[in-house]
Amino acid sequence: MQNQEILKIIENLGGRRNYEEKKASKLGFNSLYAYFEDKILKQQKAIEEEEKKLETEQMQKSQKKKSCSCC
């Protein structure tokens, strides 16, 4: 089953298709589809990591506020 989002991206490359194909083969991907699939997965992981980082920062800030003796 192929992801429609990836197919649309490949379809809309236009003049950049040759560039992206060369880049994908240089990075060791056997197809343009696999390259974009990996690229999207990396972006999703980066977003998830950023969200986790923000959550931990918020937890640390809330714990710092509770640590004072006046509250």
Number of domains in the chain: 1
Task: Say if 57 falls within a structural domain.
Answer: no
pLDDT of residue 53: 94
Structural domain of residue 2, as residue ranges?
A: 1-41
Task: Say if 65 falls within a structural domain.
Answer: no
The 10s digit of each residue's pLDDT in 16-66 is: 999 999 999 999 999 999 999 999 999 999 999 999 999 998 888 777 666
Cα separation values, 15 from 4, 18, 45, 61, Å: 20, 7, 29, 48
Task: Say if 37 falls within a structural domain.
Answer: yes
Query: What whole-number distance in Å separates Cα of residue 7 and Cα of residue 22?
Result: 18
pTM of the predicted protein model: 0.72
Task: Say if 16 falls within a structural domain.
Answer: yes
Task: Say if 64 falls within a structural domain.
Answer: no
Cα separation values, 18 from 21, 35, 70, Å: 5, 13, 65
Task: Say if 8 falls within a structural domain.
Answer: yes
User: What amino acid is encoded at 47 in this protein?
Assistant: I
42 and 29 Cβ atoms separated by less than 8 Å:
no
Task: Say if 60 falls within a structural domain.
Answer: no
Task: Say if 47 falls within a structural domain.
Answer: no
